[in-house]
Structure 1
Amino acid sequence: MSTTERIIQVADLTLITRSLASINRDIESVSSQVSVVGNELTNTRSELARLEEAFMRFVEADLKAKELALAETRQVKVRQALETTYGYYAEVRRQATGILQAADLSVVRGETMKSATEELMLQAPRYWLAPALVALAAWLNDQEDLARRALAEALRRDDEKTSLLFALVCRRAGRIDACRTWLERYFGMQNPASLDRQTVVLVDALASSVFGGEVRMHCTRQVEQWVDELSEAAGFVETQRGQWEAGLRGKLRETDHAGRYSHLSRFSPTWERLNQSLNDAGLHKDVLEHFRGIFEGSLEVARSVEAAVDGLLDKLVSRFDDEELPLRREDHLNQLIINHSGDRPAAERKHALETAALEEKVSFTQLLTNAAMNPELSHATRATQRYAIALSRAWVRNAHDDLTASFRNQVPTDIEFAIEGWQGTTRHGDNEAPLLAALGQHLDQERDNTLATLKLGFKHYAALTVGVLAVLFAFSAGWFALLVAALAIGWFFKAKSDVTKTKAKVIEAAAKKKEQCSAALKAALAEVVEWRRDLAARDAFASHVGHLLDSISPEQYTSSTHDKSRRVMTQAA
């Protein structure tokens, strides 16, 4: 026996054995930690995705909160500017009907009215209403020379408003001839393609029967001439459709339906279009309710002509001063931002649809659209809304039909899904089986691809080879070769065991993922069915709008004893 063999036999290999066991435990610990790190990495990615979504929601909410606060601050500043710059107008405006009512009751001396109006003239050196009130007070006091001079100044400052003001005053006083003269003067200055916003006051008077008999027929004939003149322009019908389409779109609500369709909003790239289609179809119900609110029920009738005219005078002198218009537009935009809880883009889209009601000059047909669809901005009464819709009935119907067709054409035919890298489509949510099969195949392929990467590499087989060779040479090379063989072979089988365990975990995780993804797909398909049902229910209101418009009798709301005006209005409608 050689010296080397005797040394190996008597050597204490306990330390080596313990070292190998310790290395084995360390390898197991490292493998376990690697698996834990892999799982934590997957969870971290999911958490990061949720965190990103939550962060984006936070940023959006923060932007809205800032826009809301800015809008509220701007609104206060705008209204302060209105009060500071034009606040003295309010005092002048309050005097308008006050003078007439005081004259009715004979409780104020003529000298008092004269001094009060002359003081207003000093306070408002550029305002058209101040000399108009001086003229009115002088007229009531039979001071003809003063009345003429003051009237000339009022006409110089604003001929149209002054003419309309005195037409209403004369109607209130029962001076029909003078009323007709002032109206003729007013009509003579009008271009139906570019009317001032206060013309809605005249339409209010016509629709509310403030002008009776011959004066009413005169106004009706003038409206007839405006329609005829506008209808001769090229593209008139298309223009009316466009105006009314914009007016109808002003009732469109921008609602996020993600809360009701949580799976579709999460897993469908088509969701934005699906959400928009619901909002588009919802317009029909809102338009129907708007029209019903106009035509159903009785109108509030003023107790007397004087009261009716006083209401029109208040509106004329307080709502239509063009100097204030830029600030009024800014105030309206700020109010829309507040109404939309700080969503400035949505508010700006709404403002763009309503901006026609805040234009300084509009065509007669645009004025009708503004009155019908935006009475708050155009300051139209419900009687005027009825009149406007009845006169424009055919244009409204055509515009609504165009909108309905456009909305239906924009409804997505195919609804896409994107779940964990897999993509699929459906139309009505009735192809669940093939979609589930395709999703399962995709996930299985993903699992198999992952499993294919979990295998022993060249280094492992090289270590095994080294280990076997070390065993063969152990008897000649000594205990060191045996140690190398033990380490190499042990590492190989440990790595093989780790691969087997990792594959089992991958298979388990893939099965769980497949179950979750399949459940998500089923829920999304169920929501597709519900979405189609919801869309159809909303779209059904389109026919109700058409029936309501068809039931409107133009003669009922544009009545006149003049045959020709009845015929023309019926044709326009």
Structure 2
Amino acid sequence: MTDPDRQLHHKVDAVQQLVLRLEEGVGQVSLQVAGVGQRTEEVNSQLQLLARSFEEYVLKAERTANAQRAETRIGVIEAQIEHRFGHYKVVRRVARGMLQGFDVGLVSDETLRDVGEQLMVETPGYWLAPVLVALQAWLADDQATCERAVQEAFHRSPGRTSLFMALILRRQGRGESSLRWLRHYLAALDPSDLGREFAVILESVSQGAFGPAGIEMVQERLDQWRAQLLSDPAREQAQIQRWRSELEKYVGPPVADRYPRLVAVSPQWPQMDRVLSRAAAHEALINRYSAMAVEEPAARARIEDQVDDILDLLVTGFDEEELPLSRDLAENHAIVKHGGDLAAARRDLDTDLLALDKRHDYLTTQSESALNPDKLGVSRATQRMAVSSCHEWFAQAHAQYSRDYRTELPADVEAVFESDHNLAGVAFRLPRWTGSFTRPIEALERSLAEHWDRAGRPFVDSLAYNWQRNLIAPGAVVLVLLLCGFAQPIMLVAALLVGAVWGGVLWYQAQNQAAVQQQARDFLERAKVDSIQQLRGGAAELADWTTAFRQADGREAAVRAVVADLATAGSPATPYERRVAHAGTRTGA
């Protein structure tokens, strides 16, 4: 071999080594690019998870701060209530003790007079203080002082004083005097602007505390008010809406964790979740009200005990000047109860705070007695009677509630598949596929599989080795060498060597690309199988959801039956006609 041939041979070998190393580098770069694509997806997922975690942390920190501020505020408000109205508690406790003194006679008139006069001085403006003076004067048969004290109490709070005297006289067996005070109280009332003490009237009716004549008088007046107020459709609609707001409290929790595949594939899931949660309210309503419909609240053995309970309700209830702080306290307690979630606390309070308003119309008082008995201080018997009076609003609100969530039922439940993938550094996007679950599942699976095949085939084909493009450069080099071979025969040998080397390199590249192509084919096949399994699982969960909804929605008729039972469950208790303690030893009032 001549020196030029040897030199050419060495150069060809060097070129071949360079080409092989270049090809290895290209293969490594391809693998690295694929790895980078996969890691990019992992990083994106981790970033999304981190973002969600950070948002949850911020939300949790914000709610914790809200709860802490509310706890601090609760302490401040309670201190303000104690400072401004703590002396009211003393008067109320003394009032209850003095009532007991009517029966047992263990406290001297002097002690009662001193206590009453002291509290009269210490609590200026409070209606109950002169009432205590009147009670002491009554015990001492001091009619003049009793009348002056009653007039002063009436001046401070006509409504509460009238009710108090009506109840005291009823307790002491002075039926006619009790009815005069009761008639005086009712005549002065505006049914569209009732104070909180009117809840005592409902309590008295439910307990039969005023006797048959008193119940008849009150019931006649209540019927007149009801007819008068219901002549305004807006007032009735307000009560229906109030009951509708109450029904919203019984909406069940989200159920997405029970149907994960359906959540993943169906865009209609948010509607379905709301509908099922709202249908679940029927069972909660049945549990809440069915016992009330059949129970018979036990009456107290003595009229004195019954009236004492009602008097306690009257004297211990919030006065109007206490209500702003009481509302503020309730708001902060709700924030603490819901762990600092202001929205949840507001939803809870939107209805509950109504019971802490100063004035209501008669219809609202009935609804609040039914829905917020604890905040008005009325008994279970009064709540039961109020629910019975409100059963028409309850029924209409429930019918609207059921109608509204049923209208949210999606007309068609669909499955949607659309996804992005990164394979060997090349992006693949599955075009959107939509199928209706009204079709047989076999047809849906077949359609989805064909969709994957149609979308994946061009992508896999695009990864095939392009012989035509990759042959241009080596072909041109070989052609040049061949042309030079006419002048120098050694160039023909070089052309053959270069062609062989380039042919080996191209074959190696083609094999690598074929492997990449097969990987893409296998990946798309697995993704197709996974999608079909998700579709199948979504169809199965849709069947479970349908069963659960039908069962929950089917309880709507049972709620209507309970409401119908409540309509006849609120008759007033049997009135007492027993002789009362020391009835013959008291003076008139």
Question: TM-score with structure 2 length normalisation?
Answer: 0.85
**Whole-Å Cα distance in 2 between the matches of residues 270 and 532 of structure 1?**
13
Contact 2:162/2:184 (CA < 8 Å) preserved in 1? yes
CA distances 1:148-207 after superposition (whole Å, capped 9, x unpaired): 333333223222122212222222222212211221222122111221222111101101
> What secondary structure sits across from 1:362 in the alignment?
coil
Asked whether the 8 Å contact 1:68–1:337 carries over to 2, the reply is yes
Partner of 2:301: 303
Confirm whether residue 526 of structure 1 aligns to residue 540 of structure 2. yes
AA at the equivalent of 2:138: W
Call closer, same or farther: CA 1:44–1:99 in 2, change over 3 Å: same
2:256 is paired with a residue whose SS is: coil
Structure-2 separation of matches of 1:362 and 1:441: 67
Question: Is the CA contact 1:460–1:495 (under 8 Å) kept in the aligned structure 2?
Answer: no
- C-alpha contact 2:206 2:571 (8 A) present in aligned 1: yes
TM alignment of 1:234-273, pairs within 5 A: 234-235=233-234, 237-249=236-248, 251-253=249-251, 255-273=253-271
Q: Which residue of 1 aligns with 2:460?
A: 451
1:5 deviates by: 4.1
Is the 1:413–1:427 Cα contact (8 Å) retained in structure 2? no
CA contact under 8 A between 2:395 and 2:560: conserved in structure 1? yes
Q: Distance in 1 between matches of 2:159 and 2:31?
A: 89
Partner residue in 1 for 2:99: 100
Residue 527 (structure 2) pairs with residue 513 (structure 1): yes
Aligned position for 1:565:
none
> Which of 545, 548, 562 in structure 1 is aligned with 2:562?
548
- Residue 241 of structure 1: CA displacement? 2.8
**Alignment partner of 2:434 out of 420, 424, 431:** 424
* Per-residue Cα deviation, 1:25-56 (whole angstroms, up to 9, x for no partner): 22222222222223333344444444445555
Q: Is the 8 A contact 1:248 1:373 kept in 2?
A: no
Q: How many residue pairs align between the two structures?
A: 558
User: Which amino acid in 1 is paired with 2:361?
Assistant: S
Cα pair 1:358 1:377 within 8 Å, conserved: yes
Counterpart pick for 2:552 among 538, 544, 555? 538
Aligned residue number for residue 584 of structure 2: none
**1:414–1:425: 8 Å Cα contact kept in structure 2?**
no
1:463 to 473, 493, 497: 473
SS at match of 2:434: strand
Q: Match for 1:347 among 329, 339, 345?
A: 345
CA offset digits 1:236-283 (Å, max 9, x no partner): 55444333323333x323512122222333443333322221221122
| Conserved? CA contact 1:390–1:552, under 8 Å | yes
| Maintained 8 Å contact 2:117/2:133 | yes
**Among 413, 434, 438, which residue is 2:443 paired with?**
434
One-letter amino acid of the structure 1 residue matched with residue 321 of structure 2 = E
Q: For residues 147 and 122 of structure 2, what CA distance do their matches in structure 1 show?
A: 21
Q: Does the 8 A contact of 1:284 with 1:545 survive in 2?
A: yes
SS at match of 1:424: strand
- Secondary structure of the 2:325 match is helix
Report deviation, 1:434.
3.2
Question: In structure 2, do the counterparts of structure 1 residues 140 and 27 end up closer, same or farther at CA, with 3 Å as the change threshold?
Answer: same
Aligned residue type for 1:472: L
Between stretches 349-358 and 471-480, larger displacement belongs to: 471-480
Q: Is the 8 A contact 1:466 1:485 kept in 2?
A: no
Residue 195 of structure 1 corresponds to 194
Match of 1:571 in 2: none
| CA 1:551–1:294: 2 relative to 1, 3 Å | closer
Amino acid of the residue matched to residue 22 of structure 1? R
- 2:76 match: secondary structure: helix
Task: Report if the CA contact (8 A) 2:242-2:351 is conserved.
Answer: no
Q: Greater relative contact order: 1 or 2 (C-alpha under 8 angstroms, separation 6 or more)?
A: 2
For 2:413 and 2:63, the matched residues in 1 are separated by: 31
| Structure 1 residues 316-395: aligned runs within 5 Å | 316-395=314-393
1:247–1:370 contact (8 Å) kept in structure 2? no
Shift of 1:58: 4.5
The worse-fitting range, judged by mean Cα deviation, of 480-489 and 450-459 is: 480-489
8 A contact 1:470–1:482 mirrored in 2: no
Tell me if structure 1 keeps the 8 A contact 2:20–2:505: no
Amino acid at match of 1:151: V
- 1:283 partner amino acid: A
1:102-136: CA deviation from partner (whole Å, max 9, x where unpaired): 23211111121121122222332232222222222
Superposed CA offset, 1:472-498 (max 9, x none): 357569799999878876665554344
SS of 2:257's equivalent in the other structure is: coil
1: CA distance, partners of 2:514 / 2:222? 89
Q: Are 1:315 and 2:313 matched, yes or no?
A: yes
Distance 1:544 1:287 in 2: 10
Corresponding residue for residue 283 of structure 1: 281
Q: Would the aligned equivalents of 1:139 and 1:147 in 2 still touch at CA under 8 Å?
A: yes
Letter matched to residue 204 of structure 1:
E
1:91 equivalent in structure 2: 90
In structure 2, the CA distance between the partners of 1:51 and 1:210, relative to structure 1 (3 Å rule), is same
Aligned residue identity for 1:528: L
Helix, strand or coil at the partner of 2:113: helix
Confirm or deny: 8 A CA contact 2:251 2:279 kept in the other structure: no
Gaps of 5+ in 1: 562-573
Sequence identity percentage: 27
User: Does the C-alpha gap of structure 1 residues 493 and 368 become closer, same or farther in structure 2, counting only changes over 3 Å?
Assistant: same
Aligned in 2, Cα 1:97/1:39: closer, same or farther, shift over 3 Å?
same
Equivalent residue number for residue 144 of structure 1 = 143
Cα deviations by residue, 1:394-431 (Å, 9 ceiling, x for unpaired): 33223222222222222223234444444535466x64
2:143 counterpart letter in structure 1: E
Summarize the Cα distance change of 1:319–1:525 in structure 2 as closer, same or farther, 3 Å threshold. Answer: farther
State the alpha-carbon separation in 2 of the partners of residues 144 and 491 from structure 1: 124
- Distance in 2 between the 1:34 and 1:209 partners? 87
Q: What letter corresponds to residue 324 of structure 2 in structure 1?
A: P
Assess, with a 3 A threshold, how the Cα gap between structure 1 residues 69 and 495 changes in structure 2: closer, same or farther. farther
- Three-state SS of the structure 2 residue aligned to 1:226 is helix
Deviations 1:410-458 (Å, cap 9, x if unpaired)? 2223234444444535466x64223333433443344335335435579
Query: Where in structure 2 are the equivalents of 1:91-240 lying within 5 Å?
Result: 91-235=90-234, 237-240=236-239
- CA distance change for structure 1 residues 29 and 395 in 2, over 3 Å: closer, same or farther? closer
Q: Partners of 1:130 and 1:61 in 2: how far apart?
A: 49
Correspondence for 1:570: none
Deviation of the 1:554 alpha carbon: 3.5
Aligned to 1:79: 78
Within 1, Cα distance between the matches of 2:552 and 2:517? 51
* Number of the residue aligned with 2:586: none
TM-score (norm 1): 0.87
The letter of the residue matching 1:542 is E
Q: Distance in 2 between matches of 1:278 and 1:32?
A: 49
**Separation (CA, whole Å) in 1 of partners of 2:69 and 2:268:** 34
- Of stretches 226-235 and 522-531 in structure 1, the one that deviates more from structure 2 is 226-235
Distance 2:569 2:519 in 1: 80
| Structure 2: gaps spanning 5 or more residues | 420-431, 576-589
